[in-house]
Amino acid sequence: MTIGNHRPSQLVIDQSAIYDNIAAEKARLKSGTELFQVVKANGYGHGITQVARTAERAGASGFCVAILDEALTLRAAGFNEPILVLGITEPKYADLMASHHISATVGSVEWLESAASFLQTGHHLAVHLGLDTGMGRLGFQQPEELSVAVNYLETHPQFDFEGIFTHFATADSADTDYFKIQVARWQAFMAVLPKRPRYVHVSNSATSLWHEVCNGNMIRFGVAAYGLNPSGTELKEPYKLKPAMSLTSQLVFVKQLPKGYSVSYGATYTATEDEWVGTLPIGYADGYERRLQGFHVLVDGQLCEIIGRICMDQLMIRLPQKYAVGTKVTLVGADHGQSITLQDVADYCGTIHYEIACGFTARLPRVYVN
């Protein structure tokens, strides 16, 4: 997608916020516990390579991604730290992963058997065995299956048994019943493990923030690095997270809309009196959701309602007075003591802030500050 560098809508990423969030979490970790920064989905919309560089400076010793191409992007950018692909990669790419020293998630012996046939002589693939303790997504489901996989790895030296992990489904919930069930299943898996690999990890952001006793010797630090509370508003974070992402634009057209005139597709909004209306060059093609009609933005510290349907490339707002073309508009972030958070946007849309942050498209330029 073409980046919109020649219009005034942009995502502003505060690198110091990311740095501080990671540094604060590292300060809480027990000695010897490593932090791998999760930079999947283009760094949760913040920019994969830029976030990785900030995380590297803040003390992250490795990275987690969702797909192989993200790992290859990091390698191409010059990152030499360990990289774990959290999703299942097709076995036919085993040698590509091995040649780039990228670690694979494995959830079945069948995957190992297939991958072995693609590994060239002398190449070794690092693997992390994924355990399904209750997420229901991927991984070995029974300790007996794990034992078979470990035995296979012991007799096939082309694989390096580098790690073992699971993922908690409710670590961000005040109700810990299901979390405790998963912990018990994890312990049952670990009981059949004759020797622990280099990395033993169960903690995403939520687990590390609220269940740090489970951390193992590595955590997968994700959404909290970007300053977002994994629980939304259900649990209070143990330290203040600093949001890194703002979304700003400018007024590109301002007019007085006469009483009785309507705005946008479907004429879903009609002025009940003469009103000042501003147009912004941003829309749902940029990931600013169409369902945000009726929400608000900030102009000069004042909340201004989005009126009419949000278009693919533009949206309209009701202004309290006439403002000049070029006036800054804040869609996410702070302005004159007022703020709109990604959580606010997510709440209005009936979703989670993860989806909003990841949904901003490549057409929005990412501008890095601090």
Report the C-alpha gap between 60 and 34 in whole angstroms.
7
Half-sphere exposure of 188 (CA within 13 A, CB side): 16
Report the C-alpha gap between 82 and 324 in whole angstroms.
51
Catalytic, out of 30, 236, 265, 322: 265
| Token pair recorded at residue 316 | 């309209």
Three-class DSSP category at 77: coil
Catalytic, out of 40, 199, 226, 284: 40
137 is in an annotated binding site: yes
Q: In this structure, what DSSP letter does residue 78 have?
A: T
Report the C-alpha gap between 198 and 180 in whole angstroms.
25
Report the C-alpha gap between 311 and 305 in whole angstroms.
15
Those residues whose C-beta lies under 8 Å from the C-beta of residue 128, and which sit 6 or more positions away, are 84, 103, 104, 105, 106, 162, 163, 164, 165, 197, 199
Known catalytic membership, residue 92: no
312 is in an annotated binding site: yes
Q: In this structure, what DSSP letter does residue 140 have?
A: B
Known catalytic membership, residue 265: yes
Note the helical H segments in 170-243. 177-191, 205-210
- Residue written as token pair 């082309």: 158
Report the C-alpha gap between 149 and 140 in whole angstroms.
9
Could you report how far apart the first and last alpha carbons of the chain are, in Å? Answer: 27
- Cite the active site residues: 40, 265
Q: Which residues are annotated as a binding site for substrate?
A: 137, 312
